[in-house]
Chains A and B, each alone.
Chain A
Amino acid sequence: MASSQQYDERLDSRRRRGLIFSGLLFVATVFGLVVLITLIVDVVMQGAQWLGWDFLTRFPSRIPERAGIKSAIVGSIWMILLTAGISVPIGVASALYLEEYAPRGWFLKLIQININNLAGIPSVVYGILGLVLFVRFFALGRSLLAGALTMALLILPIIVISAQEALRAIPSGIRESAFALGATRRQVVWSHLLPMSAPSIMTGVILALSRAIGETAPLIMIGALTFIAFLPTSVLDPFTVLPIQIFNWTARPQADFQSLAAAGIVILMIVLFLMNLSAILLRNHFEKYRSR
């Protein structure tokens, strides 16, 4: 038996170590937030001089004082609408198939592993696919449609995964009781599963689209980086988007253009903030509705 002299609790030093450790943890966690705040403050301070109505309603220009982001904003809106129009139906349909229809087995497993891996492929690789497949093979050129198709493939895995989670969250009793009353599978999907999961699917879709609105590399790959001082009138027109315009301005050596980039970033971040806010509000509304 160990005597109490041999056993040393060293409680004081152990507690001191714990205190130092927790301090370190706190500093590390706050580091990320400090960077976030620094970034936002820096961008707002740099870009403030250009922000105004004129900035939103002018086309890009070689003269910083006359430059604006009209074509980029309109291009981004086109891009998001097209991307959503392509990826949401396909993504939700895929999720429905995987969750509600696909027979269990190796094929389902394969598709699932594949979707998870797709989500980890660098966006620039999707850009290569878009360049070869949409721009050259389907001869869509450097058009909005080629960009939106590329972007749709990029966010498809995100939409599928979030829609699957939304469907999985529906209690199986709903399906069983509907089947028990003689509903066909199509009726169960249309009248129960889709309406019930719609709000959380929407939340996932908004988050996926906010990824798409900030993506730059795939669009550079399909050749979207050109001087665009007009608005697209059809989906086959060349285009520019906010992140491309920001990249273009940032890459220039003149300080004026870099602060224009900061102003563009402020606009992009406001758009992203509004999208995230609507996703959160949607989720909260849904949770309230569910608890009633």
Chain B
Amino acid sequence: MVVSRHVSKRSLAGAPGGGDLSVNVFRSPKERVVEYALGLCALISVLTTLGIAAVLVFESLNFFAEVSIVDFLTETRWTPQFTEKHFGIWPLLSGTLLITVIAAIVALPIGLMSAIFIAEYAPSRIRKVLKPGLELLAGIPTVVYGYFALTFVTPLLQTFIPGLNIYNALSAGIVVGVMIIPMVSSLSEDAIRAVPRSLAEGAYALGATRIEVVLRVMVPGAISGIVASFILALSRAVGETMIVTLAAGAMPNLTANPMESVQTMTAFIVNVSLGDTPQGTVEFYSLFAVGLVLFLMTLSMNFLANLIIRKYRERY
């Protein structure tokens, strides 16, 4: 969820002495105590990030003491439960990518089209129904989506595709896509709305039709925000856990076939803690290594999205 990126400070422009209202000029100890106490609370968020990074790195060291990092990154088998153990991340990575690609095919076009419709086409009375409706979709717990994927979407797909495995990447991917539609649509809508009205009016004045204004003026004008919304939504899909745990299965599988059962990184992490894997074993520590990869992936996607917004935003 990216709500805002800037700390807007109320500057007292023109006031003598710079006028930064955030500077505490009161010297009394009571005032200082309050300030430090509040500052300590703000530090908790920094400590959380550091804590997550530290836990993942240090616990992964236990794993990498037994499995070389080269094997982890290059081997193509992930078989922690077998007697002959292999810890190659690729089957889990490919499972995650497969789900993400399916989700992208569902969510990116539908989300962007919803955003265009809500921002440019819908009369305000219809918009008042559509927007809260999509927000409701965003508020549904992921375990509910998981139930829906397993007990509704999969049987539905099985009527079209005979012999489809009950656990399959397709059903899970589609439902993950539905889950991230609201994120794409609301962030893209914000981006489209940020394009100045005068640009659209100028295009209309030159005789463009509505579709031309939307596709040649509004969408290109908002492209950085739209791309950022895509990346943020996909990062959400990468980190999605319950839908894939319930509907995609628990079979590490190096495949690009959406009909097959796959295991994602998140589903593996959950399955390790669901099962009776004894703590202190390599299998157990592997969850931290996988968690580290997941953390780095989502973190870099979020950074990329923010970078695009900062760097390529058209300033109107």
User: Which residues of A come within 8 Å of B, CB atoms?
Assistant: 9, 11, 14-15, 17-18, 21-22, 24-26, 28-29, 31-33, 35-36, 38-39, 42-43, 46, 89-91, 93-94, 96-104, 108-129, 131-133, 153, 156-158, 160-162, 164-165, 168, 172, 175-176, 179, 184-186, 189, 210-211, 213-217, 220-221, 223, 225, 243, 246-247, 250-251, 258, 261-262, 265, 268-269, 272, 276
Contacts and interface: CB of A to CB of B under 8 A. Distances in A.
Contact of A17 (B49, B117, B144, B211): B211
Interface stretch (B40-48, B193-201, B254-262): B40-48
B141 A214 contact: yes
Nearest to B208: A14
A103 B144 contact: no
5 contacts: A14-B211, A24-B113, A32-B178, A214-B139, A225-B274
Contacts of B52: 121, 125-126, 128-129
B242 A272 contact: no
B10 A172 contact: yes
B209 A18 contact: yes
Given A122-B241, A265-B147, A42 B152 contact: yes
B269 A128 contact: yes
A175 B266 contact: no
B299 to A, nearest CB: 7
B148 A42 contact: yes
A185 to B, nearest CB: 6
B137 interface: yes
A261 B147 contact: yes
A94 B45 contact: yes
B48 A156 contact: yes
A36 B148 CA distance: 10
B75 interface: no
Given A153-B48, A156-B48, A217-B242, A33 B130 contact: yes
B134 interface: yes
A30 to B, nearest CB: 8
A12 to B, nearest CB: 11
B25 to A, nearest CB: 8
Contacts of A108: 7
B249 to A, nearest CB: 12
Given A39-B140, A122-B239, A157 B45 contact: yes
A104 B18 CA distance: 12
Nearest to B35: A101
Given A94-B45, A250-B151, A261-B147, A36 B133 contact: yes
Contacts of A100: 21-22
Interface stretch (B66-74, B85-93, B157-165, B290-298): B290-298
B45 A114 contact: yes
A258 B122 CA distance: 39
Nearest to B214: A21
Provide the main secondary structure of the chain A interface: helix
A8 B239 CA distance: 51
B105 interface: no
Interface in B17-45: 20-24, 26, 28, 30-31, 34-35, 37-39, 41-42, 44-45
B45 A39 contact: no
Given A22-B121, A125-B52, 8 more contacts: A93-B41, A97-B42, A111-B46, A124-B239, A128-B269, A129-B55, A160-B45, A216-B143
B2 A243 contact: no
Given A133-B55, A158-B1, A185-B31, A172 B147 contact: no
Given A28-B110, A216-B141, A115 B7 contact: no
A96 B22 CA distance: 11
B65 interface: no
Given A29-B118, A96-B38, A217-B266, A118 B45 contact: yes
A21 B291 contact: no
B144 A265 contact: yes
A216 B242 contact: yes
Contacts of A221: 269-270, 273
Contacts of A14: 209, 211-212
Given A18-B211, A172-B10, A102 B55 contact: no
Given A29-B114, A43-B144, A128 B22 contact: no
Give the 9 A-B residue pairs with the shortest CB-CB distance, closest first: A122-B239, A214-B141, A28-B113, A93-B41, A97-B38, A18-B211, A172-B10, A25-B117, A217-B241
B5 interface: yes
B59 to A, nearest CB: 6
B142 A216 contact: yes
Contact of B298 (A94, A122, A168): A122
Contact of B7 (A22, A109, A131): A109
Contacts of B246: 247, 250-251
A286 B148 CA distance: 36
Contacts of B56: 125, 128
Contacts of B12: 172, 176
A216 B274 CA distance: 12
Contacts of A261: 147
B226 interface: no
Contact of B146 (A98, A114, A118, A247): A247
